[in-house]
């Protein structure tokens, strides 16, 4: 996308942005964009040894970065990270909750019916996608409440708009996350400051390493039946790529969206707008 972001209209230069889930395919693309904008980005990851590519982006500048070991389901690790971020960068402007995901044990299949889904897997998936956003909002949102300014962007899913077949717990958690986003937007604005905004993006179907073989046949390289069904219901006729999220995220972070709060923005190629007819 180029280095032109550093002098762009986003006005994020010098701003400190916390990014849980920064080592995922979608999170790393946003990390790169924020560094290009001149922001100070703190990526929270469970295994820093696997985040070497983030260090490469940090070295390019013009922004600054730091990589911290933290678990979004461990509040103590989040509090420790907050103190380190404040000590290094001095303030916290925004939180981008990119942590999340699904596990096979919480997903139905021909071999695993709904009645066979493991309780621990269901609870973990719901916790990761819901509590894994609520806890960071508590920890880092408090810093925003204390200064009366900040931006929170949660990452939902099309599964929160329309429950997808197979993804039981994931769909339920993402629907709850959309509701929580709206609740928190009202709470922060009315109880603390209208200078604190809370929104979410809802990605559609993005092609990543994690879902490659759900979308493409391993033996032929062609679309799977599920991949074909997705594209048939996506007016733009393609899967999303990680870079497609960047514009929406930067807009929600920037002063250009200063009157936007409590919104859940689809980034889905028109999937949520299409009735199938």
pLDDT per position as a tens digit, 159-204: 999 888 899 999 999 999 999 999 999 999 999 999 999 999 999 9
The one catalytic residue in 93, 124, 170, 192 is 170
Q: How confident is the model at residue 4 (pLDDT cuts 50, 70, 90)?
A: low
Range of the domain at 100: 3-204+240-266
Beta bridge partners of 213: none
* CA–CA dist 42, 163 (Å, integer): 32
- Residue 3 predicted with pLDDT over 50: no
Residue 8: give its domain's CATH number.
Answer: 3.40.50.720
Residue 7 confidence (pLDDT): 54
- What integer pLDDT is reported at residue 5 of this predicted model? 57
Q: What percent of the chain has pLDDT over 90?
A: 83
Q: What are the backbone dihedrals phi and psi of residue 4, each rounded to the nearest 5 degrees, phi first? A: -65, -15
Q: Note the pLDDT of residue 209.
A: 76
Helix (H, G, I), strand (E, B) or coil at 195: coil
**235 domain-assigned:** no
Is residue 21 scored above 80 in pLDDT? yes
In the numeric block, the tokens 């393609």 are attached to: 238
In tens, the pLDDT along 121-146 reads: 999 999 999 999 999 999 999 999 99
Domain for residue 94, yes or no? yes
- Terminal-to-terminal C-alpha distance of the chain: 35
pLDDT at 58: 92
Does the CA dihedral 85-87-89-93 come out positive or negative? positive
Q: Does the residue 232 lie in any domain?
A: no
Residue 255 has pLDDT above 70, yes or no: yes
Query: How many angstroms separate the CA atoms of 229 and 196, rounded?
Result: 39
275 falls within a domain: no
Q: Point out the least confidently predicted range of 94-108, 215-229, 257-271.
A: 215-229
- What does the mean pLDDT of the chain come to? 93
Is residue 224 assigned to a domain? no
Q: Dump the DSSP string for 44-83.
A: EES-GGG-HHHHHHHHH-SSEEEEEE--TT-HHHHHHHHH
Structure tokens at 184: 């928190």
More confident residue, 25 or 232: 232
Using alpha carbons only, what angle is made at residue 155 by residues 112 and 31, rounded to the nearest 5 degrees?
A: 115
Supply the pLDDT for residue 1. Answer: 43
Catalytic site residue 170?
Answer: yes
| Residue 152 β-bridge partners | 95, 198
Please, which pLDDT band fits residue 2 given cuts at 50, 70 and 90?
very low
Residues 6+ apart with CB under 8 A from 146: none
Does some domain include residue 151? yes
118 Cβ neighbours under 8 A, 6+ residues apart:
105, 106
Distance from C-alpha of 134 to C-alpha of 130, rounded to nearest angstrom: 6
Task: Please list, residue by residue across 203-234, b when 16 or more beta carbons sit within 10 angstroms of its beta carbon and e when fewer do.
Answer: bbbbbbeebeeebbeeeeeebeebbeebbebb
Any domain includes 218:
no
Residue 49, domain member (yes or no): yes
Give the total number of structural domains in the chain: 1
Average confidence (pLDDT) over 66-77: 97
91: left (phi over 0), alpha (psi -120 to 50) or beta: beta
């Amino acid at each position: 996308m180029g280095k032109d972001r550093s002098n762009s209209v986003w006005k994020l230069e010098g701003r400190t942005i916390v990014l849980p889930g920064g080592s995922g395919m979608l999170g790393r693309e946003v990390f790169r964009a924020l560094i290009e904008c001149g922001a100070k980005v703190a990526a929270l990851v469970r295994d820093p040894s696997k985040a070497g590519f983030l260090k490469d982006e940090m070295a390019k500048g013009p922004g600054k970065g730091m990589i911290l070991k933290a678990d979004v389901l461990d509040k103590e690790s989040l509090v420790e990270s907050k103190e380190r971020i404040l000590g290094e960068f001095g303030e916290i402007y925004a939180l981008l909750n990119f942590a999340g995901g699904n596990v096979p044990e919480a997903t139905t299949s021909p071999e695993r019916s709904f009645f066979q889904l493991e309780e621990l897997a269901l609870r973990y998936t719901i916790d990761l996608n819901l509590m894994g956003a609520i806890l960071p909002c508590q920890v880092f949102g408090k810093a925003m409440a204390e200064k009366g300014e900040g931006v929170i962007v949660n990452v939902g899913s099309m599964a929160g708009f329309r429950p997808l077949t197979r993804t039981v717990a994931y769909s339920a958690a993402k629907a709850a996350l959309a509701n929580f986003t709206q609740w928190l937007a009202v709470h922060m604005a009315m109880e603390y400051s209208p200078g604190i905004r809370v929104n979410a993006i809802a990605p559609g179907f993005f092609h990543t390493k994690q879902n490659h073989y759900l979308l493409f046949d391993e033996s032929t390289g062609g679309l799977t039946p599920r991949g074909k069904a997705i594209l048939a219901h996506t007016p733009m006729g393609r899967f999303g790529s990680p870079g497609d999220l960047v514009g929406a995220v930067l807009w929600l972070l920037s002063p250009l969206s200063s009157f936007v709060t409590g919104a859940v923005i689809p980034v889905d190629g028109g999937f949520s707008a299409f009735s199938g007819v």
